[in-house]
Amino acid sequence: NAGVTQTPKFQVLKTGQSMTLQCAQDMNHNSMYWYRQDPGMGLRLIYYSASEGTTDKGEVPNGYNVSRLNKREFSLRLESAAPSQTSVYFCASAPTPRGSYEQYFGPGTRLTVT
């Protein structure tokens, strides 16, 4: 099992460009999450998908959109990148949306917006 995979690993964008971060899991999990990690701020939830066919906003959704393409895949799109979106992005998955389950994290995408 690969677990949670993310592509790309690194990306540099110019302000105003768009891109999509890809995430896939092979653990048959129902719930998937996108977080961003900034120094001194821990991880903050951007969007999540409790189950296939549903998506909801997290703590910091502005400037992002998501698509739950199928049970395995959950993508994050930046329509018009801004320097404030420079961050490390992590995708995670969990068996169910119940809070008692731990989440499994991907290796991250390091994004720089110039």
Strand pairing category for 109-113 and 10-13? parallel
The yes or no reply on residue 97 touching other proteins (CB under 8 A) is yes
Is the Cβ of residue 17 or residue 103 nearer to other proteins in the bound state? Answer: 103
Q: Please, what is the minimum distance in Å from the beta carbon of residue 69 to other proteins?
A: 19
Q: Please, what is the minimum distance in Å from the beta carbon of residue 5 to other proteins?
A: 10
Is the Cβ of residue 3 or residue 16 nearer to other proteins in the bound state? Answer: 3
The residues in 18-57 that bind other proteins, with binding defined as CB under 8 A, are 31, 33, 35, 40-45, 48, 50, 56
Is the Cβ of residue 42 or residue 53 nearer to other proteins in the bound state? Answer: 42
| 17 Cβ contact list (under 8 Å, min separation 6) | 80, 81
Residues near other proteins (CB under 8 A) are 4, 31, 33, 35, 40-45, 48, 50, 56, 58, 90, 92, 94, 96-108
